[in-house]
Structure 1
Amino acid sequence: MGITEPQGGTIHGIAVVPPGLEQPAAQELADLGCGGVAPLRRAVRFDTDLGGLYRLHLQARLPFRLLRQLASFPCRGRDDLYSGVQQALDWATWLPPSATFRVDVSGTAPGLNHSHYSALQVKNAVVDLQRQRWGQRSSIDLDSPDLSLHLHLGGGLASLSVDGSGSSLHRRGYRAAMGLAPLKENLAAGLIALTGWGGRVPLADPLCGSGTLLIEAARAALGRAPGLGPDGPRPFALQRWPDFQPDLWQQQVEAAAALARDRLPDGQPLAPVLGMEQDPAVLGQARCNAEAAGVAGWIQLRGGDCRDFVPPEQPGVLVCNPPYGERLGEAEALESLYADLGRMVKERCSGWSLWLLSGNPELTGALRMKASRRIPVSNGGIDCRWLHYAIR
């Protein structure tokens, strides 16, 4: 069958990331000590060891999920998949019949063109083997399985991985309160990374909504690890793996916690971080979120219309995610909002840099400004552009 497994303690991994953030995610993984980093489509390939994988789960801001490849084998059809899965792992160790599991599939192979059907083949291979060996089988649990398997098909190969994340890593735990169109935390973190903002110049969002862009920016600048909450690390699926090492995990938890600081790494204070929101209820959500995220002391949130925004004297970075006008009848009012936003920044924000997430090119045209960069990203399935404007 030619099954291959990672050798010598090296872990081959895949980070699943938001579309358009492959490059900054690759840089983040390299900065966190990974080797063999290569951007893919909606993913980044990397190599690390077990301690490094723990570190990524605690510290990486951009991935949705982190997958650890356990085996790879030739797969040119259904029979190859069935036999390959049965031989891929020490199933007695990784999935005893008392444990629950789920299967997710990406990619295709001949005769395996539908992910649901391919996942069924993987499930059948596993439970048939369990019945033969032990006379009993594992149950499927889609919500909180003991083991989450991921199979990728492509190029004549099947790669079988386990998901160490559990629930999606974008859920930091601080955002009980959200606006109508919440920006996922990992996308917000990636958008901030693309601006190059590091806390030395002011950051402002005149349409801050529930505050996600500003909160993610402040947490990154102040070293707040995304996998840690006020009560310690969130639960991760990898803690249920058979080779989980509690002492090594605790080392990485302590290392991540030690990164938190009240100033920038060189001891300088964080530059002003400002947000404005017109809706009092949404502003209240933003304040609750900033408090839960542990950065309320560094973010100034105030009520008001973006047209009335007055920036600090020192030029900095403006970020915003204005409405895209998906509901009928909104376009006219939003065109006026975009026009007024463009007028405000040109009148008051000379020397600043504006980054705006656009899901509607017609509305963006109302800014009457020319973007110097247009980075394609996806926000909740909407094809967007992260637009950069240098304000003269």
Structure 2
Amino acid sequence: MRVLLSTIGSRGEVQPVIALALRLQELGQETVVVAPPDFRPWAESLGIAYLPVGPELHGTAKQPAGTVPTPGQRRRMIEGTVAEQFAAVGSAAEGCDVIVAGGALAVAARSVAEQRGAGYVYAAFAPMTLPSPHHAPPVFGLLGDKPADGTIDNPTLWARDAQRWNALWGAALDAQRAAIGLAPAGDVRRHILTDTPWLAADPLLAPWPGPSEPDVLQTGAWTLTDHRPLPPELEDFLDADEPPIVFGFGSMRAPEGLARTMIAAARALGRRAVLARGWADLSVDGAAPDCLVIGEVNQQALFPRAAAVVHHGGAGTTTAAAGAGTPQVVVPQMFDQFYFADRVDRLGIGSAHPGSNPTADSLTTALRHALAPRTVRTARTLAGRIRTDGALTAARLLITEHG
């Protein structure tokens, strides 16, 4: 069986797809990944066939805060990404038996599957991105949409969300479908998500809220086992004293002065700090023995050796910290990050920071709660219940259903 895996997004979308591709290959299947160019060298180093689509995304984390496209810019962005996805996915789909779309911005995947007569599976990485009366739709932010004020019921919000999908994406999608001989998609969101989506999220950390449309199949999170050793400088720092607090914002844009705020919070608690630069290129002025700035490293090796992890609330980072049994503070910025902040707080494995722009005092308060003995015990206890077989489960399902 040959499987095409398509996604558009940062590492939070690409890494799960890579994990599934590797599991499929271990089971003797052929795979090709179509995703942003930023991750091509990494994927190919793992032996995965990779076709880039769209522009590099790395620079988006350094755009000024509050940057929102004009209606004309937004239309051109949408038309451009849809056209590029149809070209790239269409080119890679030759001989594929099934196409997997990871995340709702993989707009072309189902149409190409339909044209090729291949199977199609849509996978979400967080429950709140799928329609349910139990929660409101996510807010993307970069397209200028705003959160609801809490006075409108969830079914109405989801109906409006469907209208927004049609208004934003319908014309561009249908134009590309017409070019390859397909009829209009109709309800764009339903077209992409299908009535039977998969949920690639941990059942404890991010459970599907209950029986309702659509009929969701939860596989567990698609995690990638990382065997890389930590850099010697980081090993030496970890060995030198008590476990530090690890700070990082991954591929997210960071609020102004975030690095200084993070280090000040750690020092207020008498803790050392490890600061991950991330795409925002976080840094501190001058060298200090209580702080180490690092690049991208193996979270699975680092997080168990941390006193706490402070991060933006991406699905992958949240799951990695939960699996490590390390308490966490989530400072959400957009989309599903608010959901994961709430789940961390509800499970008692850390704190949801109130708001997206922490001060030294507010972050110190959140960290003090995360470092409390009860929180530490709960995080360690729940760690053993975080599943690590989600990608293998999904790979076996694909083979059973489409092989």
Give TM-score, length-normalised by structure 1. Answer: 0.29
Larger proportion of strand: 1
Larger proportion of helix: 2
Give TM-score, length-normalised by structure 2. Answer: 0.28
